């Protein structure tokens, strides 16, 4: 009986651990924000979410994938704050999303990035778009990637591991401004790559309006497909492991009888 128990525990630990190593979603959207008179941070969405939104008195944010075929993020954020009593009196809203893609052929991919923001007073909008890929690309639940380098952290505690193929960094702190950017990177046939976008609107005595959207679009998406099937979560895998272990235990008890 002791041996059977050890087998059960060992199988449960082994299978549950294996599930944790691969229990990551291939896409997700999240919106978050905070202000002085709102305790804590308001959030919506998460891994596996195709959209997220929040709407408070002084800030709002939304993240989603309106282009269903390609699942490229479209993000909006708005922050308004009339207080300037202290240097840290800041209201902020953040929208972010990520998606993993695969390329059916070797090609140079071009990705259009567009940001439109309207700034009044002491406020700003910051947008970042990261593209990760390469032969060692993958989504990991560990900050230390296989090559011992630090990956690009995502909002759900996972990381893009691999090579940074491109990055766009857009900043607007005055006026009504449109900022376009073009990212270009090479991928091989069958290669996967990840796109992560984050949009932040911050205000201390004014408003940061990025509701005119941070949008991304492939110039040509003919051979690009989203990888949007998440594997089982760790809790689910653990339950499956325990169920399998129980079956093994019952079988061993019958043999001993």
Q: What is the pLDDT of residue 198?
A: 97
The 10s digit of each residue's pLDDT in 128-169 is 999 999 988 999 888 888 877 778 999 988 899 999 999 999
> What does residue 250 show for φ and ψ, rounded to 5 degrees?
-60, -40
% of the chain residues with pLDDT over 70 = 74
Q: What is the pLDDT of residue 8?
A: 38
Q: Where are the domains of the chain?
A: 1-23+232-257, 25-230
Q: What is the pLDDT of residue 236?
A: 43
Calpha distance 108→182 (Å, rounded): 12
Calpha distance 93→78 (Å, rounded): 6
% of the chain residues with pLDDT over 90 = 57
Let me know the angle formed at the C-alpha of 216 by 213 and 221, rounded to the nearest 5 degrees.
Answer: 150
Q: What is the pLDDT of residue 73?
A: 92
Q: What is the pLDDT of residue 149?
A: 74
Is the pLDDT at 30 greater than 50, yes or no?
yes
Q: What is the pLDDT of residue 249?
A: 46
| Predicted confidence band of residue 5 (pLDDT cuts 50, 70, 90) | very low
Q: What is the pLDDT of residue 90?
A: 83
Q: What is the pLDDT of residue 103?
A: 96
Q: What is the pLDDT of residue 66?
A: 83
The 10s digit of each residue's pLDDT in 208-224 is 999 988 999 999 998 99
Residue 84, Cβ neighbours under 10 Å: how many? 12
Calpha distance 129→111 (Å, rounded): 10
Mean pLDDT of the chain: 81
Give Cβ neighbours of residue 108 (< 8 Å, ≥ 6 apart).
184, 185, 186
Of residues 132, 127, 88, the one with CA closest to residue 109? 132
pLDDT, average across residues 38-61: 88
| Global confidence as pTM | 0.79
Write the burial class of residue 132 (CB in 10 Å: 0-12 exposed, 13-18 middle, 19+ buried).
buried
């Amino acid at each position: 009986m002791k041996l059977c128990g050890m087998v059960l525990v060992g199988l449960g630990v082994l299978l549950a651990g294996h599930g944790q190593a691969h229990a990551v979603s291939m896409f997700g959207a999240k919106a978050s924000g905070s202000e002085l008179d709102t305790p804590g941070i308001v959030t919506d969405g998460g891994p596996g979410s195709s959209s997220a939104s929040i709407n408070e008195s002084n800030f709002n944010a939304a993240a989603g994938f309106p282009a269903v075929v390609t699942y490229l993020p479209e993000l909006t954020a708005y922050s308004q704050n009339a207080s300037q009593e202290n240097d840290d009196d800041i209201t902020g809203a953040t929208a972010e999303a990520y998606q993993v893609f695969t390329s059916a052929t070797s090609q140079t991919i071009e990705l259009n990035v567009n940001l439109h923001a309207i700034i009044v007073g002491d406020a700003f909008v910051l947008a970042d778009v990261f593209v990760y890929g390469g032969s060692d690309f993958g989504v990991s639940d560990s900050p230390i990637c296989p090559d011992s380098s630090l990956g690009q952290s995502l909002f759900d505690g996972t990381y893009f591991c691999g090579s940074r193929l491109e990055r766009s960094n857009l900043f607007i702190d005055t006026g009504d401004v449109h900022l376009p950017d073009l990212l270009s990177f090479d991928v091989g046939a069958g290669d996967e790559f990840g796109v992560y976008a984050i949009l932040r609107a911050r205000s201390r005595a004014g408003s940061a309006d990025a509701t005119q959207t941070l949008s991304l679009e492939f110039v040509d998406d003919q051979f690009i497909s989203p990888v949007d099937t998440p594997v089982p979560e760790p809790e689910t895998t653990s339950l499956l492991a325990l169920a399998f272990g129980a079956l093994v235990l019952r079988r061993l008890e019958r043999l001993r009888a």
